[in-house]
Structure 1
Amino acid sequence: MPIKLIAVDMDGTFLNDNKQYNKTRFLNQYKQLKQQGIRFVAASGNQLYTLQNYFLEIQNDIAYVAENGAYVVDGTEEVGFAHFSPDLVAEIIASLIENYQQALIVCGKKSAYSSVTVPQQAYQKLNKYFKKLKISNDLMHIDDQICKVTLNIAQCDENLLLEDLKAKDFIQNQSVKLVSSGFGFIDLIIPAQHKAHGLSLLQQKWQIADQDILAIGDNYNDLEMIQKAGFSFAMDNAVPELKQAARFTAKSNQQEGVLDVIDLLLAGEYPFQPSLNAVNF
């Protein structure tokens, strides 16, 4: 079966631990993917502006499933944007701001927002993940559509935070889903607006079936996308649950595992020959 769409997670997957990738190698691959009519999608918990920053040379040519699936863009065209109701945003922020104000990042369509109380040393980390980040005097009254609320666990006790979050009414009644995106962040997202849902919007636009998707990831927020794809890869550095769900395993993000898989695809080599069944590369 022909692959028509490649969806790759970014942190821990496409990017190495220094938030970089072999740009020369990938851009050469991308030219070949484009010649073969294969779509490339960056699917990440990151905001759209951060993802675009990684692909400056082709940023208006590829597609994005950003904010864990809430914000979907094809080139310069918005395909979908899901956001919490203003009342639910107010409930979430009000329940967290007293104890976790320094840890909060409120993610909107126009920007991400952090409190003036966030310690200066925390911004070295935040600026890696949020290329458009504004400091707000009042997180309760942000003029934006909010699609995700993130907590930087470096600013709090992770176990206590998770215990507290799981007891919140908006988690208990399933108005909000709690997911770990790794790298020291906990995300509060819209239920069912995960990466697989974002991909489905692009599939509808491009008329691409699940069986024609190649997806690669490493963490819990990649699970639905991995389960959806006809060809699914977990990185060698992936969490065990994702390795169990994926059909195949790629080398780690430190070893350019994603680019190796793309080379196999372009060459028509295993596992893109349906008669073969090995699982490691």
Structure 2
Amino acid sequence: MSIKLIAVDMDGTFLNGEKKYNKQRFLAQFLQLQARNIHFVAASGNQLWTLKNYFSEIQDEIAYVAENGAYVMDGVEEVSFSHFSQNVVNTMVDDLLQRYADGVILCGKQGAYIGPEVKPEAMPKLNKYFKRLQQVDDLKKVDDLICKVTINTTYYDFETLTNDLKTKSYIQSGDVKMVSSGFGFIDLIVPHKHKAYGLDFLQKKWQVQDHEILAIGDNNNDIEMVKKAGYGFAVENAIPELKQVAKYQAKHNEQEAVLDVIDIVLNATSEEELVRLCQAESL
């Protein structure tokens, strides 16, 4: 059997709408994956500490491609960390605070940061997605390596906001890339530092080829990863753009889609059977 690495997106894919998953079922699967030397990777736009929180029982035994590919960990070992230059961070912060101060979240190596303008009613949502979050007096004085700037779009018209961001000089110049990670967030990331980029480091470390990867996602920030994988899945609730590049389709994230796909990997006895089962799952 050729699968050596399973990479899963979290929100809208592995997790249901309540940010939960069938932990008992997955932990039993994980033991089988370990026994077969199949690596499990949580690949997400979420910060590292949020991902670790979801997998508290095995957090040091799995790998992470966090912050949309900028922060890569293998258990407790840091594999890669990419960040903006301070000049680019200063330019973005100076600009974004003028119009979107209550929506700006700086994502760094040590945690995430919000300014004093953020409304108290926004905190339940932010605390759900950012498990290490600090409110500071001045975002311009944050002392951390910034790998991503996230904008909470709750208080803005999404289309108007994205159209405005497209006009920004730092995006037009290619210094920053804008992606939607879903659930009312827009991420400004380091160009070319996407989830597939992060997976490359783990592949080299583990000697895994693209055709030996199974990846599954639901949104814009999963496209490169799903395209890269020999077995690329989009969940039923995925955006059309991802479904267009995915070789296979899984069930809805509310139906334990990822766990069903993992069962396919565990139950297939040959490459031919794996392909057949993946095709059957897509019907």
TM-score of the two chains, using structure 2 as the length reference: 0.97
SS class of match (1:58) = coil
User: What residue identity is the alignment partner of 1:130?
Assistant: F
CA deviation after TM superposition for structure 1 residue 244, in Å: 1.0
CA contact (8 A) 1:5 1:212 kept: yes
Q: Partner residue of 2:143?
A: 143
| Cα distance in 1, alignment partners of residues 128 and 20 from structure 2 | 11
SS of the residue corresponding to residue 53 of structure 1 reads helix
Contact map agreement 1:211 1:231 (CA 8 A) in 2? yes
What's the offset of the Cα at 1:157? 2.1
Given that 2:268 and 2:274 are in contact with CA atoms closer than 8 Å, whether structure 1 keeps it comes out as no
Aligned to 2:132: 132
Report deviation, 1:275. Answer: 6.2
Measured after TM superposition, the shift of residue 273 of structure 1 is 2.3
Return the letter of the residue paired with 2:222: D
The answer to whether the 8 A contact 1:247-1:279 is kept is no
Deviation at 1:116, TM superposition (A): 1.1
Q: Say if 1:220 and 1:239, in contact at 8 Å, map to a contact too.
A: yes
What is the CA distance between 1:190 and its match in structure 2?
0.4
1:240 equivalent in structure 2: 240
* Structural mapping, 1:180-199, within 5 Å: 180-199=180-199
Which sections of structure 2, spanning at least 5 residues, go unmatched?
none
The answer for the alignment partner of 1:51 in structure 2 is 51
Query: 1:224 maps to which residue?
Result: 224
State the secondary structure of the residue aligned to 2:187.
strand
Q: What's the counterpart of residue 213 of structure 2?
A: 213
- Specify the alignment match of 2:254 in structure 1: 254
Flag the 1:279–1:247 CA change in 2: closer, same or farther, 3 A.
Answer: farther
Alignment of 1:5-44 (within 5 A): 5-44=5-44
**SS at 1:251's partner residue?**
coil
CA distance in 2, matches of 1:272, 1:127: 44
The question of whether the paired residues in 2 share the 8 Å contact of 1:214 and 1:230 is answered with yes
Match of 2:111 in 1: 111
Equivalent AA in structure 2 for residue 80 of structure 1:
S
* Percent identical: 58
How far the C-alpha of 1:156 sits from its partner, in A, is 1.7
Work out the CA distance in 1 between the residues paired with 2:160 and 2:211: 41
Q: How far does residue 272 in structure 1 lie from its aligned partner after superposition?
A: 6.0
Residues 273/85 of structure 1: CA separation in 2 closer, same or farther (3 Å cut): same
Residue from 244, 258, 282 that aligns with 1:280: 282
Does the alignment pair 1:3 with 2:7?
A: no
> Residue 222 of structure 1: CA displacement?
0.1
SS state at 1:56 partner: coil
**1:271/1:278 contact within 8 Å kept:** no
Task: Give the distance between the partners of 2:281 and 2:23, measured in 1 at CA.
Answer: 27
| DSSP-derived class of the 1:154 partner | coil
Question: What do residues 20-56 of structure 1 show as CA deviations (whole Å, max 9, x unaligned)?
Answer: 0000000000000000000000000000000000000
Question: Is the contact between residue 43 and residue 195 of structure 1 (CA under 8 Å) also seen in structure 2?
Answer: yes
CA contact (8 A) 2:152 2:184 kept: yes
Contact 1:265–1:272 under 8 Å retained in 2:
no
Q: Distance in 1 between matches of 2:272 and 2:111?
A: 40
Pairwise CA distance, 1:269:
6.4
| Aligned counterparts of 2:244 and 2:271: Cα–Cα separation in 1 | 17
Cα distance in structure 1, aligned partners of 2:39 and 2:163:
40
Residue in 2 aligned with 1:67?
67
Give TM-score scaled by structure 1 length: 0.97
